[in-house]
Chains A and B, each alone.
Chain A
Amino acid sequence: MRLVQRPSPSPLSYLYAAAGSLATSIAVVFAFTGDPEKSLQALSTVDPWLVARIFVIVGIIAAASLLSYRSGLWNIGQEGQAVVGALAAVASQNPAEALAAATAAAAAWALAPALLRAFAEVNEAVTTFLLSLAAVSVARYFVEGPLRDPGMRGFIATYEAPALSIAAAAAIFAAVLAGIAALYRTRLGLSLRLLASGEEVVKYAGRSPRVYILLALLLSGAVSGIGGAVEIMTREAGRYMTLQQVSTGFGLYGISAAWLGALHPIGSAAASLYIAWLYQVAINLKILGLPAQVANALVGTAMAWGLAGYVLHRYRVVWR
Chain B
Amino acid sequence: MSTTRRDWLKVVASFATGAVLGAAGGYYAGLQSIKTAVEKTTTSPTVAEAPKTQIGLPKMKIHFIYVGPVGDYGWTYAHEQGRIFLEKTLCPDPDKWCIVETSKAEEVKEEQAYSYVKNAVSGGAHMVITTSYGFMDGTKKAAAEHPDRFFAHCSGYFKDQQEWSRLQNFAEYFIDLYEAYYLNGIVAGKMTKTNRLGYVAAFPKLPEIIRHMNAFLIGAREVNPNVQMDVVGLGAWYAPENATRAAQALVDINGVDVLAFTEDTPAVLRVAEDYQKQGKKVWSFSHYSDMSQYGPNANLTGQIVNWGPLYVEMAIRAYLAWISGELSIWSEWPPERPRDYWWSMKNSYAYYDYKKNPTDILPLNPAVPDEVRKYVEERRRQIIEGVWDPFTGPVRDMQGKVRVPDRTRLSKDELYNMDWYVEGYRQLPP
| Chain B residues whose C-beta falls within 8 Å of the C-beta of A243 in the assembled complex | 203, 206
Interface-lining segment among A16-24, A260-268, A288-296? A288-296
Across the interface, do B115 and A283 meet the contact criterion of CB distance under 8 Å? yes
In chain A, residues 167-188, which have Cβ atoms closer than 8 Å to a Cβ of chain B? none
Q: How far apart are the CA atoms of A315 and B134 in the complex, in Å?
A: 47
Across the interface, do A238 and B113 meet the contact criterion of CB distance under 8 Å? yes
**Any chain B CB within 8 A of the CB of A32?**
no
**Any chain A CB within 8 A of the CB of B107?**
yes
Across the interface, do A289 and B104 meet the contact criterion of CB distance under 8 Å? yes
Please give the distance in Å from A83's CB to the nearest CB on chain B.
13
The residue that B205 contacts in the complex, of A153, A156, A283, A292, with Cβ under 8 A, is A156
Across the interface, do A137 and B115 meet the contact criterion of CB distance under 8 Å? no
Across the interface, do A47 and B108 meet the contact criterion of CB distance under 8 Å? no
In chain A, residues 4-60, which have Cβ atoms closer than 8 Å to a Cβ of chain B? 45, 47, 50
Encoded as 1 (CB less than 8 Å from any B CB) or 0, chain A from 224 to 263 comes to: 0000000110011110001111001100000000000000
Across the interface, do B235 and A137 meet the contact criterion of CB distance under 8 Å? yes
Please give the distance in Å from B414's CB to the nearest CB on chain A.
10
Please give the distance in Å from A300's CB to the nearest CB on chain B.
14
Q: How far apart are the CA atoms of A231 and B110 in the complex, in Å?
A: 13
Across the interface, do A283 and B119 meet the contact criterion of CB distance under 8 Å? yes
Q: How far apart are the CA atoms of A22 and B353 in the complex, in Å?
A: 53
Please give the distance in Å from B301's CB to the nearest CB on chain A.
26
**Any chain A CB within 8 A of the CB of B397?**
no
Across the interface, do B112 and A156 meet the contact criterion of CB distance under 8 Å? no
| Chain A residues whose C-beta falls within 8 Å of the C-beta of B141 in the assembled complex | 236-237
The residue that A238 contacts in the complex, of B63, B137, B237, with Cβ under 8 A, is B137
Across the interface, do A238 and B138 meet the contact criterion of CB distance under 8 Å? yes
Across the interface, do A153 and B132 meet the contact criterion of CB distance under 8 Å? no
Encoded as 1 (CB less than 8 Å from any A CB) or 0, chain B from 270 to 303 comes to: 0000000000000000000000000000000000
Q: How far apart are the CA atoms of A232 and B108 in the complex, in Å?
A: 16
Please give the distance in Å from A156's CB to the nearest CB on chain B.
6
Q: How far apart are the CA atoms of A232 and B112 in the complex, in Å?
A: 11
**Any chain B CB within 8 A of the CB of A199?**
no
Across the interface, do B418 and A245 meet the contact criterion of CB distance under 8 Å? no
The residue that A154 contacts in the complex, of B103, B106, B115, B208, with Cβ under 8 A, is B208
Across the interface, do B416 and A153 meet the contact criterion of CB distance under 8 Å? yes
In chain B, residues 130-159, which have Cβ atoms closer than 8 Å to a Cβ of chain A? 132-138, 140-141, 156-157
| Chain B residues whose C-beta falls within 8 Å of the C-beta of A287 in the assembled complex | 63, 103, 105, 116, 119-120, 123
**Any chain A CB within 8 A of the CB of B118?**
yes
Encoded as 1 (CB less than 8 Å from any A CB) or 0, chain B from 370 to 392 comes to: 00000000000000000000000
Please give the distance in Å from B212's CB to the nearest CB on chain A.
12
Across the interface, do B418 and A154 meet the contact criterion of CB distance under 8 Å? yes
**Any chain B CB within 8 A of the CB of A140?**
yes
The residue that A50 contacts in the complex, of B103, B110, B115, B157, with Cβ under 8 A, is B115
| Chain B residues whose C-beta falls within 8 Å of the C-beta of A248 in the assembled complex | 109, 111
| Chain A residues whose C-beta falls within 8 Å of the C-beta of B140 in the assembled complex | 237
Across the interface, do A237 and B138 meet the contact criterion of CB distance under 8 Å? yes
Across the interface, do A236 and B133 meet the contact criterion of CB distance under 8 Å? no
**Any chain A CB within 8 A of the CB of B417?**
yes
Across the interface, do B110 and A156 meet the contact criterion of CB distance under 8 Å? no
**Any chain B CB within 8 A of the CB of A78?**
no
> In this complex, which of A47, A245, A296 has the most chain B Cβ atoms within 10 angstroms of its Cβ?
A245
**Any chain B CB within 8 A of the CB of A284?**
yes
Please give the distance in Å from B429's CB to the nearest CB on chain A.
11
Known: A236-B138, A237-B113, A245-B111. A286 touches B208 (CB 8 A): no
Known: A47-B119, A153-B417. A289 touches B105 (CB 8 A): yes
**Any chain A CB within 8 A of the CB of B338?**
no
Q: How far apart are the CA atoms of A294 and B252 in the complex, in Å?
A: 42
Q: How far apart are the CA atoms of A292 and B112 in the complex, in Å?
A: 14
Across the interface, do A292 and B237 meet the contact criterion of CB distance under 8 Å? no
Across the interface, do A244 and B110 meet the contact criterion of CB distance under 8 Å? yes
Across the interface, do A47 and B109 meet the contact criterion of CB distance under 8 Å? no
The residue that A283 contacts in the complex, of B116, B156, B235, B418, with Cβ under 8 A, is B116
Across the interface, do A286 and B115 meet the contact criterion of CB distance under 8 Å? no
Across the interface, do A286 and B114 meet the contact criterion of CB distance under 8 Å? no
Please give the distance in Å from B397's CB to the nearest CB on chain A.
17
> In this complex, which of A144, A236, A248 has the most chain B Cβ atoms within 10 angstroms of its Cβ?
A236
Nearest opposing residue in chain A for B138, CB measure: A237
**Any chain A CB within 8 A of the CB of B69?**
yes
Encoded as 1 (CB less than 8 Å from any A CB) or 0, chain B from 181 to 198 comes to: 000000000000000000
The residue that A245 contacts in the complex, of B69, B120, B134, with Cβ under 8 A, is B134
| Chain A residues whose C-beta falls within 8 Å of the C-beta of B205 in the assembled complex | 144, 156
The residue that B112 contacts in the complex, of A154, A155, A244, A283, with Cβ under 8 A, is A283
| Chain A residues whose C-beta falls within 8 Å of the C-beta of B135 in the assembled complex | 238
> In this complex, which of B67, B119, B417 has the most chain A Cβ atoms within 10 angstroms of its Cβ?
B119
| Chain A residues whose C-beta falls within 8 Å of the C-beta of B106 in the assembled complex | 286, 291-292
Please give the distance in Å from A230's CB to the nearest CB on chain B.
12
| Chain B residues whose C-beta falls within 8 Å of the C-beta of A45 in the assembled complex | 119
**Any chain A CB within 8 A of the CB of B207?**
yes
Please give the distance in Å from B297's CB to the nearest CB on chain A.
33
Please give the distance in Å from B87's CB to the nearest CB on chain A.
12
| Chain A residues whose C-beta falls within 8 Å of the C-beta of B119 in the assembled complex | 45, 47, 283-284, 287
Task: Show 22 A/B contacts (Cβ-Cβ < 8 Å), sorted by A.
Answer: A45-B119, A137-B235, A144-B205, A153-B413, A153-B416, A154-B418, A155-B206, A156-B203, A157-B133, A231-B111, A235-B114, A236-B115, A237-B114, A237-B140, A238-B138, A242-B110, A242-B133, A242-B134, A248-B111, A283-B115, A291-B106, A295-B107
**Which residues of B line the A interface, CB within 8 A?**
63, 67, 69, 103-116, 118-120, 123, 132-138, 140-141, 156-157, 203, 205-208, 235, 237, 413, 416-418
The 8 tightest CB contacts between A and B, nearest first, are A292-B107, A237-B137, A238-B137, A154-B207, A286-B105, A237-B138, A154-B416, A245-B110
> With A238-B113, A244-B67, A287-B123 given, can you name 10 additional A-B contacts, CB distance below 8 Å?
A50-B115, A140-B235, A153-B417, A156-B206, A236-B141, A237-B114, A238-B134, A284-B119, A287-B120, A292-B107
